Amino acid sequence: MISPTSDGPIVVTGGAGFIGCNIADRVAAQGSEVIVFDALARPGVERNLNWLVSRHGDRIRPVIADVRDEEALNSAVCGASAVFHMAAQVAVTTSLLDPLDDFSVNLLGSLNVLEAVRRGGSVAPVVFASTNKVYGSLADISLEIVDDAYAPKEASVRARGVDETRPLDFHTPYGCSKGAADQYVLDYARSFGLRTCVLRMSCIYGPRQMGSEDQGWVAHFLIRALEGRPISIYGDGKQVRDVLHVSDAVDAYLAALRNIDRVSGRPFNLGGGPANAVSLRQVLAYIETLTGRALELDFDDWREGDQRYFVADARRLRAALDLPLPIGWREGVADLCDWLRTERGLAGPRALAKAAAG
C-alpha cells in the first residue's frame, strides 16, 4: 500500500506523461484519489489521460494546467497527501533550441511545486524525478569497447556503475535546469523541513511510452522497427545505458513515498544497474530478433551532452527501500514490443518474445 500522510488526494504533476501515468494508474488501483496535473503539451499524452479515466473513473481528477501556473498549482496541491513531481521539459535537444522555456518549465516550475507545498502549510511529501544528466558527460571515465559497447576500464565502475558520490557537473541547458531543480528539492528539506526525495533516473522504458527521436529511445526504436522505417543513430551506437522497466520505476517511487521519513533530503540513483547495461547496438540487434526484420540504420554526428556510458549504481536505493532486483532488459523490451503492437495496431511477424527473452 502507499500509506500517504493524510486522506487527501495524491498529486502527480506530468501525470499524463509516460512515467506519471503509470504512477497514477498504480496509485488509483490501490484506492487513492489522484489529481493528474498536466498541460498535455506533449503529443499523444491525452491518450494516457483518457486511459486513466477509463480505468479508474472518479478516482482520476484531471487538472489541465502548466506547472508555471502558480494559481492552478496552489489549488491542486492544497490538501494533497503527497506530490510526485514528474512534469518537465524532457529533451536535451529542445533545451538547446529554447533554453528559456526549458528553464521556466524545469526550474521555475519545480520551485512553484515546492512553494505550493511550503506556503500552503502542507505536510505532503514531494518525490522528484531527476536525471542522470546531473553527472555531466562523464568524460573522465576511461572507456574501452567490449562486445559492441563502451565499458569502463576501471573494474569497480564496470562492476557497480556510477554512484551518488559522483560530483555534479551540469551540461546543456537541460542538465542545468534539471540539476538546479534537483538541488532545490534537496535544499527545501534542509532549509524549510519539507519531506522531499530525489530520484536520478537513467533510461526508463515500457508501456504508455510515446517514444521519439529526442526522448524515449527504446520505444522510438521499436516503433520505427515495427513500422519498417529507418532509425537514426547519433554517434556510433555503442553508447551504454542501464535501462529500467517502468513497473520497477513505479515500485521505487511508491516505496520512496512509503518510507519518506527514512529517505527525506537524500538523492538516489534509479536505473537498471550493471545487469541491465546495454548499448544501442545491442538493443537494436534484439529488436531485429523480436520483429523478424532487418533494421535500416542511418548514422549521424554525436549530439551535445550525450554520455558514451552511464550505468547507475542503484544499490543505495535498493537497500533503503528494500527493492527487488529489476526485470531483465530482454524481458522488458519484449513486453514493450507486445504493448506497442496492440496499442498501435502494428502489423508484422509476431515475436517469440518469451523464447527470445530467455
Active site residues: 174
**Residue 267: count of CB within 10 angstroms of its CB:** 22
118 and 253 in contact (C-beta within 8 Å)? no
For 77, which DSSP code? H
For 106, which DSSP code? I
161 and 277 in contact (C-beta within 8 Å)? yes
CA-closest candidate to residue 332, choices 252, 292, 276: 276
Beta bridge partners of 201: 131, 270
For 59, which DSSP code? G
**Angle (CA) 218 128 19, round 5°:** 30
Q: Alpha helices, DSSP H only, in 155-216?
A: 155-160, 172-192
What letters, b where the CB count within 10 A reaches 16 and e where it falls short, cover 193-228?
ebbbbbbbbbbbbbbbbbbbeebbbbbbbbbbbbee
**Residue 192: count of CB within 10 angstroms of its CB:** 13
Q: Is 236 exposed, middle or buried (0-12, 13-18, 19+ CB in 10 A)?
A: middle
- Which residues have C-beta within 8 Å of that of residue 48, sequence separation ≥ 6? 16, 17, 18, 21, 208
In one-letter notation, the amino acid at residue 47 is R
- Which residues have C-beta within 8 Å of that of residue 155, sequence separation ≥ 6? none
- Going by their DSSP bridges, the two strands 143-145 and 150-152 should be labelled as antiparallel
Beta bridge partners of 82: 10
